[in-house]
Amino acid sequence: MYCKKLGDTLLLRFYKCMSSDIIFTKRYKMQMTGIIEKKVSVNNIEINCLQTGKGDHSVFCLPGSLGTIWTDFSPQIIGFDLNKFSIIVWDPPGYGKSIPPKRDFCIDYLERDADLAAQLLQKLEIPKCSLLGWSDGGITALFLAAKYPEHVNKLVVWGANAFLTNEDLNAYEKIKNVKNWSVGMRNSMMNIYGEQLLQQLINEWFDIMKKIQNTREGDICKQLVSNIVIPTLILHGAKDPLVPKIHCEFLHKYIQNSKLHIFQDGKHNIHLKFSEFFNKTVQEFLLEK
């Protein structure tokens, strides 16, 4: 097993590279010897996934748009108490090492991801787990918790939204052209996808967001979130430029058994920028009786 080099630029919805202050020391490398990264065939798709830890509490981590195991959840893989938790992370279909297939941005692709994730957990013989979902992965986690409650212990989401607004689309428009990204940001993602595929993925993602706005009045899963009854922790960065506070407030209002915690100095990537406090807060929530 090897670890991806951590990046040093701002994380946005499409870019989930670690910040430069997270360094893999000898201690971390020793912790990572128990990691298994493998491909599992699910519904004729080869899904790349990672497992580590020996704890009784299984936690499934879901990356965001274009995100992968290592770009999105390195601080959790190395930072969680692996005597208490067992961590599972996937590369969503069409991202990272779960290519092929080509990412298919159909209008219900996040719900489809949730169904595929449920099948993956079944293949891995994990009957019940908690969910950690960021950004698009947070939306997938909402679908999972609503549709498969018997298989979910607790839910943690951040940077996620159940609906879209014109304000959201305007924010996405500003980061659509990869040529306008910083050199470090662009090169890091091009190392995974190449320039042509990277821009294509961004374009297709943006197009499906516009289609959801135009054909569903922005409804991604608004009607579904009220079905979530498991204990839920909603986290939010007060300075998130992509997911305004209205979204976490909506989730908190309609998910009955939920708590809301605001990172006052946080943006979209609170689990990376404030990884130590994030990990502590989330682990305490997951272990609450």
| Residue tagged active-site, from 130, 136, 240, 247 | 240
pTM of the model: 0.89
Q: Is 135 a catalytic residue?
A: yes
DSSP tag of 15: B
- When pLDDT is cut at 50, 70 and 90, the band that residue 187 belongs to is confident
Lowest mean pLDDT among 45-59, 76-90, 102-116, 178-192: 178-192
Closest to 38 measured CA to CA, from 98, 95, 78: 98
Residue 250 CB neighbours (<10 A) = 16
Q: What is the pLDDT of residue 252?
A: 98
Mean pLDDT of 226-245: 97
CATH of domain 26-287: 3.40.50.1820
Q: Is 268 a catalytic residue?
A: yes
DSSP secondary structure letters along 67-113: --HHHHHHHHHHHS-TTTEEEEEE--TTSTTS-SSPP---TTHHHHH
Q: What is the pLDDT confidence band of residue 103, given thresholds at 50, 70 and 90?
A: very high
- In whole angstroms, what is the distance from residue 72 CA to residue 90 CA? 10
DSSP 166-198: HHHHHHHHHT--GGGS-HHHHHHHHHHH-HHHH
- Write out pLDDT tens, residues 19-47: 333 334 334 444 556 899 999 999 999 99
49-71 pLDDT, tens digit each: 999 999 999 999 999 999 999 98
Q: Which of 65, 74, 135, 258 is catalytic?
A: 135
Q: How many CB atoms lie within 10 A of CB 166?
A: 9
The three-point CA angle 124-129-131 to 5° equals 110
Active-site residue identified among 236, 247, 261, 268: 268
Q: Is 261 a catalytic residue?
A: no
| Spatial distance between the Cα atoms of 158 and 269, rounded to a whole number of angstroms | 9
pLDDT averaged over every residue in the chain: 89
Please give the pLDDT value at position 15: 39
| pLDDT in the model for residue 189 | 81
